[in-house]
Amino acid sequence: MAGLKEKFLLNIAFPLADFVMGTSAMKWFRQIKRMEKWSPEEIKAWQLEKLKLLVAQAYNHTVYYREIFDKLGLKPSDINNFDDLKKLPTLTKNIVRERFNDFIPDNQKKFKSRYGSTGGSTGTPFKYMFDADDWGYGAAYKIFCWKKTPYKYGDMFISLGSSSLFPVNKKSIIHEIYYRLRNTIPLNGMNMDDDVCEKYIQIIKKYNVKYIYGYASAIYLLALYSKKKSYDIQMKSVFTTSEKLTPEYREVIEKTWKVKVMDCYGSRDGGLTAYEVNRGCFNLGYNSFCEVKGSRKDEPSEILCTDLLRMGFPMFRYEIGDEVVIIEDKEKYNGQIIKELIGRTSDIIRFENGRQLTTSGFNSMFRTFNIKAFRIMKKDNHTLKIEIQKTENYSDDEEKLIIQTMKKHAGENIVIEIEYKENFQPLKNGKRTFFMNEMM
């Protein structure tokens, strides 16, 4: 029965939803399934073809890259392989911020581009644009990799993220369709106190949920609570994302629920998505080509990503901010593999009232405000301090909504202090983290 349901969803329901929503997930799902059987050489040939199209698009239709190519004396025909990408400079978030409109091609409408934003690991909201193909590939690759586990498309799963982030947060019809097709139960993973964990455990038991997807720290806290209460719950698969999956998190989740964890690493702004299909190895999606700044292949170095499908907002050699080791292993995967991942560290803020706040949801919250950067820290057991670097469009109403929302998640008895900063400097210990369990 599960197999018939999956076939119906993948072959009829979801293609119809793609048509209605103007997306292309199922087209890419079928393409990825075909590419899985290709040789590494065939994968690179396909990627190189996409790269050449992207280079021509960037040069012929964007102000920024025409300027860069002309300044360097380059033509699109000078980029003939992936090594030639090194002829182009790396791209930083600051450059994109300062020259945002110059990355928008004059023929962008044909790619159905949309605005996106991310808080990032520094707490600084960052805006970019992505295409229908961009989104479609990411959605398809998630389904493809999840199916390497016992998961079948349409199986019920909990999405433990930043749903119901604000006191009033209505979902669009498109989101309702998407969640219904995927059989998703979206739950808030920002506050994971005992009462919340008990509520979620009862949902798991009531609906016999066997799959959980979401923030690593939130899933860890839920597993820890389940262990403390000695609940007899067994999962089939757990998918962690958005934060670094520490050895402690993995051990607690896997031992408590007798399950294997598939970790996910990605960068929405960079168009990168990778899944831990084999333990310790993240298979990079074919849609992007990644390189590292360092010369030694066995040492972690900053990752640079080129999204080969983002024709509506080209970005070459984009600096994501994490350090990785990239390898190729034909026995495990016909594309690129991230073997070692440094960065994406997370923390958990705990209060005496039992509230336990996790990191990633606050990225989603703060990127909606007129804020350049922010830092959240626990000042004491009754006070949460938020430092904000605001833009000129920031309003008093936004401050009120921030306080209201933070109290909702931290507790009404927690004092919310807001301090406005001209800019942010590294802490005394050199860290730039934006979410801290105590003052440093």
State residue 112's pLDDT score. 83
Question: What is 1-348's CATH topology?
Answer: Rossmann fold (3.40.50)
- Return all residues near 169 (Cβ < 8 A) that are at least 6 apart: 163
State residue 337's pLDDT score. 95
SS3 388: strand
101 pLDDT higher than 90: yes
> Is the pLDDT higher at 319 or at 15?
319
How many residues comprise the chain? 440
pLDDT > 70: percent of the chain: 87
**Quick one: CA torsion of 156, 158, 161, 164, rounded to 10 degrees?**
90
Mean pLDDT (whole number) for 158-184: 63
Domain-wise residue ranges, the chain: 1-348, 369-436
Strand 318-327 relative to strand 371-380: parallel, antiparallel, unpaired? unpaired
303 pLDDT higher than 80: yes
**Beta pairing partners, 118:** 126
Q: Are 123 and 435 in contact (CB under 8 A)?
A: yes
Residue 306: burial class (beta carbons within 10 Å; 0-12, 13-18, 19+): buried
State residue 440's pLDDT score. 35
43 pLDDT higher than 60: yes
Helix axes 25-35 and 14-21, enclosed angle (nearest 10): 130
**How many helices (H) and strands (E) in the chain?**
13, 19
When mean pLDDT is compared across 177-191, 287-301, 369-383, the lowest value belongs to 177-191
What is the C-alpha radius of gyration for the chain, rounded to an integer number of angstroms?
22
Separation of alpha carbons 7 and 230, rounded Å: 37
Q: What is the pLDDT of residues 241-297, one digit of tens each?
A: 888 888 889 999 999 999 999 999 988 888 899 999 999 899 999 999 999 987 777
Task: List Cα–Cα distances, 328 to 72, 271, 273, 318, in angstroms.
Answer: 31, 20, 16, 21
* pTM for the structure as a whole: 0.80
Edge-to-edge, what's the strand order for the sheet holding 383-390? 415-420, 383-390, 371-380, 435-436
